[in-house]
Structure formats: structure tokens, C-alpha cells
Amino acid sequence: MQIIYDNDQLNIDNNIGVINEIFNKVNMAIENKNIVFSHLVIDGVDVYENHVAYIEERMDSITKIEIITRNMKEMIWETMDSIHVYLKRAIPALNELVDESYENFSRNSWDGIDQLAEGMQWILQFMTFTKTAHQQPPNWQEIKKSLLQCETSFAQLLEAVEAKDTILITDILSYEVTPAYESLANHLAIALDDKEFLKNVN
């Protein structure tokens, strides 16, 4: 198979050693503090997580793996944009979930909370990553306040879920999580309007 990164191309046999070779190249790339690993493109498929399992399951058939990195500013911007798009879908779905759960807290309610948890973990990973970046995006202080609001509401939600207190769960979704999501969406929109952040990317 071929392993491709930037202008480098390496041909190696299809075996477990390919995984070490990939992450050696990734580690070499991110020694430059402005570069972060984004994802792999494996035979034309974008793979953002569980890379090792994905490769192992298809080891015999893979022909090409491309290593994709991003400038840190680009990574922050792309993630902000993705989160903003996600929130525009998630907020109406969350409002619907709240209405349904007040009437009848059902299996659908628990499924909705599971999906919410996945999205929230992704959002909080963005906060952790961006706090350590050399340069934060526009409107960062307001974004961070909203992210901390999301983090607090999520912690409250987890406690209510563990207690299986369905009334409290629904209240937290309505009065804590939803306003936090709305605030974050608004502040991300303001940041994404400021294209100066992406100038002089290096």
C-alpha cells in the first residue's frame, strides 16, 4: 500500500507495521507546533476516529492511506464551523426532545440524551484543544463562557441521568443545556463572521 503525506510517498507491505509508520509520520508532522493531525483518507474514505481498528479490519485490501494535517488556525476555524452547523440542527431537535419528554419520557428520550452526550463531548474537546492553541479565535472570551456553560450543564445532566430523575433531566435540558447551546451558537456565528483570523496562516 501507499502512505502519502504532503509530498512524501512510501510504499510498504500490508501488515501491522503500517500503523506504526503512519503515526511516526504524524508525530514528525506535529513537531511543528502550528500543525495538528486532522484525519486519514483510506482508499478515498475520510476516517476521523478509530483509525487502528479501521485499518486492521481492512488490512489486506487497503491500497492507499493519506495523512491529513491542518494548520492550527484552520483546524480551529473548521471545527467552529462544524460545531455551528451541528448546533443549528441540534437546538430544534433538543426543543422537540424536551417537549416530548415532559409529556412522556420514553426510550426515545434516552436515545436523544445519548446523542446529545456524543455532541457535547465533541464540543468540550474543542474547548480543551482551543485553550492550548497559540492563538484563540475571534470572540474567544464569549465563546469560552458559553463552552463553560455547556460543561456545567452537561455535568448536571449526567448527575440527573445517574439518578434516573426524568423530571430533573428534562428541566436541565430545557433551562440549562438549551440556553447554553443557543449562546454558543450565537457567539460562534460572530466569530465566523471575522475572516481576519485566517489571514497570514502559517
Closest CA to 43 of 3, 94, 81: 3
- The model's pTM is 0.77
Closest CA to 43 of 28, 59, 27, 29: 59
Q: What is the pLDDT along the chain (202 residues), one digit of tens a residue?
A: 888 888 788 888 887 777 887 878 778 766 765 678 888 999 999 998 888 889 889 988 999 999 888 888 888 999 999 999 999 999 999 999 999 999 999 999 999 999 999 999 999 999 998 998 888 999 999 999 999 999 999 999 999 999 999 999 999 999 999 999 999 999 999 999 987 776 655 5
- Nearby residues of 45 by Cβ (< 8 Å), 6 or more positions away: none
β pairing state of 2-5 and 35-42? unpaired
